[in-house]
Structure 1
């Protein structure tokens, strides 16, 4: 492997890790910065909805509305397999996502695991994701936690961050 290939792999790995960092730190500008302006998220294994091309701004707004009401989230990405072909690249990585909601003494968690396939394009010195596919292989907890988090957001009763 050449030094240029190693540099690309390191840049892609760092870039993909910003996916989890942006979400979990609620740094929506960081999360937005990892995508091309138009991108295609495919979360059909989770939602059952087909993949649709959309603006990255709309995607980030939807993720923010879904995850920000949780008290905490933790997205873990591991086992990166990266293929670079000129100005295109693919990165497959394992994932686990934990979503926490606290209400009084009740602490609830929902987790999913599986793997992402991110397709990237070279942009200047870096890389941007233009398609991301989530492949859920396991799930634990009550999916209704997402509805309860959304309800909390509509009540505008504040968030008790853990």
Structure 2
């Protein structure tokens, strides 16, 4: 594989997580779904445990989109993605990245819950696009009112 193709693939891998984050923040279910493989697995348990709540492993694109759309519907969120490190393995890839996630209740902008999370993401190529097959999220630090997440 040429260096140009490797670089293009690395950008496309990171773009899958950008689509995921933007889909969540914009409450755009189609955009969110475009980032996920049909049988994707989403594991927020490590981060959730540090925030003091249980969150189940979610399996399948439709289930992940439904769970995130439902649990975050009363919050405004902003996810900032940084420090992506991509490892390519043919039509599979691994992405380690930091994500800062701000959560603000729509009915009370004076409260917030800010998390800096480490995402470990497995991806696969589907045609001309990369999609997420598994995400595991762990928390590095958090700040604010944990009760903001209780609406989840």
Q: Which runs of 4+ in 1 moved over 3 A?
A: 48-53
Preserved CA contact (<8 Å) 1:40 1:51: no
1:121 and 1:38 mapped to 2: Cα distance? Answer: 11
Q: Deviations over 1:112-157 (max 9, x none)?
A: 112111100111111111100101011111221122x45xxxxxxx
Of 52, 67, 91 in structure 2, the residue corresponding to residue 62 of structure 1 is 67
Aligned residue pairs total 147
Task: Tell me which structure has the larger Cα radius of gyration.
Answer: 1
Relative to the length of structure 2, the TM-score reads 0.88
Structure 1 residue 52 displacement after superposition: 3.7
Structure 2 unaligned residues grouped into runs of 5+: none
1:40 and 1:51 mapped to 2: Cα distance? Answer: 11
Structure 1 unaligned residues grouped into runs of 5+: 151-162
Name the counterpart of 1:36.
37
Q: Deviations over 1:83-102 (max 9, x none)?
A: 00101101111111001125
2:57 and 2:120 mapped to 1: Cα distance? Answer: 16
Of 99, 102, 119 in structure 2, the residue corresponding to residue 98 of structure 1 is 102
Name the counterpart of 2:125.
122
2:107 and 2:58 mapped to 1: Cα distance? Answer: 36
Q: Is 2:92 aligned against 1:88? A: yes
| Secondary structure of the corresponding residue to residue 107 of structure 1 | coil
| Residues 11 and 103 of structure 1, relative CA distance in 2, 3 Å threshold | closer
